[in-house]
A and B are shown apart, each in its own frame.
Chain A
Amino acid sequence: MRLELQKITKQFPGVLANDRISISVDKGQVLGLLGENGAGKTTLMNILSGLYRPDSGKILIDGKERIFRDPAQAIDAGIGMVHQHFMLVPVFDVTESVVLGNEPTKGPLGSFDRATARAQVVELSKKHGLHVDPDAKIESLPVGVRQRVEILKALYRKSDILVLDEPSAVLTPQETEELFEIIRGLAKGGTSVIFITHKLNEVIAVADKITVLRRGAVAGETTPKKATAAKLAEMMVGREVQLTVSRSKSKVAEPILQVKGLNVLNDAGGLAVNSATFEVRSGEILAVAGVQGNGQTELVEALTGLRLVDSGTVVLEKKPLHAGSPREIAMAGVAHIPEDRNRDGMVKGMTIAENYILNTYHLPQYSKNGLLNRKAIAAATEQAVKDFDVRTPSINTDIASLSGGNQQKVIVAREFSRNVRLVIAAQPTRGLDVGSIEYIHRRIVEQRDAGAAVLIVSTELDEVLALGDRVAVMYEGRIVGILDAKEATRERVGLLMGGITK
């Protein structure tokens, strides 16, 4: 065994993050480490990379026990981490980025030996089939290539145990496929790879061996040949899971939201949304796909009044909304499940009840003469907590102490508590456990069936394909295509996400 973790246990205050986890990976093997958020994957990898010390358990490399006191020792042992969020300096070029921290030097003053560095990087990228231009500036590179630079960085430090943490989160399906090629190539060359993900299809596609974590412990081990997506999901969640959203055919009626020639600027003043034109009709779900950062955030902010519309029109059932304030838009019948629930969706430090009335506290049912009607608020919140199955000791609990899934349920309950004509849901299930995902999806489909128009923005292709009656794809601020569910195959949407309209 190249690397073996034996019975790793790590206790944090209140949580047993890792409970006697044992995993192993051979030379040239790809281990898929599968688990939901909070299953203990990240803690385990932080132990492996020397950031944390385990409370008990052993790390063995080539059969010999090693103790990592800091990340430098883990790197010396050949462990290379590629984080989900890249750690690159935008203004450096590829060569500089790769050698940063271990620069080759020349001369008595130890000045940077650029020529040698460049040659080393070129050789390394040739050897492993990682094609990059050594002179390109990081900021000019697409995300997929930046990831290659991260991998090169690890290889440059002579890592032969490569840990990739959720590497496909920022990639298009095609880029993901390229990444898999690279991983296979590295494994063939003798590198051991640990591939961390929560996406079932990916481990089946690339791993030689799969270890599933659940609630800090190993839930099972299998191989891609023996495993099916359904089986893996069951291991991951601990019960049978419905992977597809069950829903009836949509009964599409009149248009509710009409967007014409919408232009929206980003914070830097650049055009983030470029003449978007689309409509969403009663009883249908329009799912907007796209790689993160292609204008979806700005589109949603503009539609919900959080960002100024530069030009163009937004009309909700004949009522123009492009100059509306967030409150006017909400009161017009728009439910908004925000992309970043921690930032926009709730006020941590306030109770569940206070968060439940966050944007309706001013309505007569909750306040009179400037005073909150605490009885009415408590009663409505109690009911919502029951209806939406929010697991909490009390409605006066700080929302910060709830799990992500329960927090999102409070937000969804709040947004659906009003008369809803249009649902705008941005990344509605990001970071949630499978059970909560199922639940939130069902609630959104219910709104559609009740006649609301639904606009879902998601970077998870699975979610887009599962929910969308129609699928729109955003690329560099433009809507590059709108497909019916029937035509929206993974491949077609994937190509559009990469900007290929053919």
Chain B
Amino acid sequence: MNGLKKFGSKIRVPALSISVALLVGALFIIFTDIEVLGGLLSDPIGALSLGIGRAATAYSALFRGAFGDPETIGKALASNGDIKLWARALRPIVESVVASVPLIFVGLGVSVAFRTGIFNIGGAGQYTMGAVGGTIAALAFGAGVTPAPIAILLVMIFGVVGGAAWAFIPGYLKARVGASEVITTIMLNFIAGQFVFFLVSNFEFIQKPPRIQPVSKELSQFVDLPGILPIAALRMDISIIIALLTAVAVSWFLFRSTRGFELRAAGLNLAAAKYAGIGAGTSIITAMLISGAISGLGGALVAVGTIKQLSPGIAGSVGFTAIAVALVGGTRPSGVVATALVFGLLQHGGSLMQVQTGIPIEMLLFIQALVIAFIAAPELTLGILKNPFRRRPRSVAK
């Protein structure tokens, strides 16, 4: 009971933030609809009900895109094991989970840095360099050069090394000369993207023949990650399992190991950490190495397993969304996983919403931004929950 209560108080703000953000998003849909606005003066009630209907349609598409269509699921249930129907029924939820995998990895990665008090904005760059490492490993060791399990292992190792090496640069600069990690990591994000561009447009080893487009060869010809679902048409591979194992490992590292203890102490109070004999420089570099390694692992697995190709824009918006995931999840591994899943649902659901209702997927960015804003102002969010109609107290006490 006590544990449940504790859990409840932990997820209260995030859960409320997501609900309120969805609500505000609905208002936004209603009041940006040209027809609704046009009819608002002549026939306000009609216009509003039209708007509400549109929002409902949009969210229903969002829901079906995220979790699956109840109707299709019903058919699949009734079909007595029709693989094709089942694949159709489960595809949305599976794709939502797949979309959350990069967010889990990079969210965990930046969380380790945040816990140490380092604002590592370089998740995208570290993820990208991990993808580079994974791609090179796949091209070099895949396609029968080494047995498949070894090739997969090498993909992971190269990813870890790529991400960690990329994160080492800002970590070292911060520890040695105090360079702001915010600036260096952002810059390294751009450099990572351009580096990929250089690789995939200049090397026959990597570039896809006939070497016109700046993308790599199809990686599935070299290494394929084993799927974990009995339905081959659903692309869910072992990377989700590795992501969850990584979350467990990060949690264990942060809360059970002496190194994790040092990093957390340094992150919460650097002066007290120094007082306790914890070296600030070592903490910074350690945290960045681990942070980059996790993001890099994610990059390698997603590039090889999910996207099956390396391209300059491989990180997409993962870097920044993952920062949101880390913050919403309270930089706690369990929270990061849960938030990444929610964001994955929103992301995949949003694409169906765009197809079916024409409401652009950017709407989801708006909702995500709102979630972050609400999380950042817990007092405001809890105030909404308590009693929206309560009169403000007469005192001006802070």
User: Is the beta-carbon distance between A372 and B256 smaller than 8 angstroms?
Assistant: yes
Q: For the complex formed, measure the closest distance between the CB of B131 and the CB atoms of chain A, giving whole angstroms.
A: 30
B387 at the interface (CB under 8 A from A): no
CA distance A345 to B272 in the complex (A): 6
Asked if residues B271 and A344 are in contact (CB atoms below 8 Å), the reply is yes
Query: Which stretch in B194-202, B215-223, B368-376, B390-398 binds the other chain?
Result: B390-398
At the interface, yes or no: B257 with Cβ under 8 Å from chain A?
A: yes
Nearest CB of chain A from residue B389's CB, rounded to whole Å:
20
Q: Is chain B's binding surface mostly helix, strand, loop or mixed?
A: helix
Tell whether, in the assembled complex, residue A362 and residue B258 are in contact, meaning their CB atoms are under 8 Å apart.
yes
- A354-373 interface code vs B (CB 8 A; 1 in, 0 out): 10001101100001001110
CB atoms of A374 and B256 under 8 A apart: yes
In the bound complex, what is the Cα–Cα distance between A16 and B52 (angstroms)?
A: 47
**Does B277 count as interface, using CB distance less than 8 angstroms?**
yes
Give CA–CA (A330, B275) in the complex, Å: 10
Q: Which residue of B lies closest to A400 (CB)?
A: B268
Q: Which of A236-277 contact B (CB under 8 A)?
A: none
B17-25, B259-267, B291-299, B334-342: which one contacts chain A?
A: B259-267
Closest chain B CB from A71 CB (angstroms): 11
Among the stretches A51-59, A100-108, A134-142, the one at the interface with B is A51-59
CA of A140 to CA of B277, assembled, Å: 38
B264–A350 CB distance below 8 A: yes
B1 CB → nearest A CB, Å? 17
Contact A336 B261 (CB under 8 A): no
Query: What does the 1/0 interface line of A45-70 toward B look like (CB < 8 Å)?
Result: 00000011111000000000000001
- Asked if B276 lies at the interface with its beta carbon under 8 angstroms from chain A, I say yes
**A306, B396: Cβ atoms closer than 8 Å:** no
- Given known contacts A350-B265, A358-B265, A52 and B395 CB-to-CB distance under 8 angstroms: yes
Among B258, B272, B275, B396, point to the contact of A371 (Cβ < 8 A): B258
Report yes or no: A336 in contact with B275, Cβ–Cβ below 8 A.
yes
CB neighbours (8 Å) of A494 from chain B are: none
Contact indicator per residue, chain A 317-353, by CB within 8 Å of chain B (1) or not (0): 0000000011110100000101000011111111000
Instruction: For B271, list chain A residues within 8 Å (CB).
Output: 343-344
Q: CB of B273 within 8 A of chain A?
A: yes
Q: Could you say which residues of chain A place their CB within 8 Å of the CB of B397? A: 10, 12, 52-53
Check B256 against A346 for contact (C-beta < 8 Å).
Answer: no
Query: Known contacts A53-B394, A53-B397, A372-B258: does B277 contact A326 (CB below 8 Å)?
Result: yes
A362 to B257, CA, bound (A): 10
Knowing A55-B395, A347-B268 touch, does A306 contact B274 (C-beta < 8 A)?
Answer: yes
B395 touches A53 (CB 8 A): yes
Closest chain A CB from B330 CB (angstroms)? 12
Across the interface, B276 reaches (CB within 8 A) one of A55, A328, A358, namely A358
Distance of A348 Cα from B276 Cα, bound (Å): 14
Q: In the complex, which residues 4-45 of chain A have their Cβ closer than 8 Å to any Cβ of chain B?
A: 10, 12
Task: For A326, list chain B residues within 8 Å (CB).
Answer: 274-277
CA distance A370 to B254 in the complex (A): 12
Q: Is B269 an interface residue (CB 8 A)?
A: yes
Instruction: Give the chain A neighbours of B259 by CB distance below 8 A.
Output: 370
Bound-state Cα–Cα, A349 to B266, Å: 12
Pair B275/A344 contact, Cβ less than 8 Å: yes
Q: Could you tell me the distance between the alpha carbons of A328 and B279 in the complex, rounded to whole angstroms?
A: 12
| Minimum distance in angstroms from B3 CB to a CB of chain A | 13
Query: Is there contact, CB below 8 Å, between A371 and B395?
Result: no
Tell whether, in the assembled complex, residue A344 and residue B257 are in contact, meaning their CB atoms are under 8 Å apart: no
**Which residues of chain A have C-beta atoms less than 8 A from B257's C-beta?**
370-372
B residues with a Cβ closer than 8 A to A are 256-259, 261, 264-265, 268-269, 271-277, 394-397
Q: Closest 8 A-B residue pairs measured CB to CB?
A: A327-B277, A359-B276, A53-B395, A344-B275, A358-B276, A349-B268, A347-B269, A326-B277
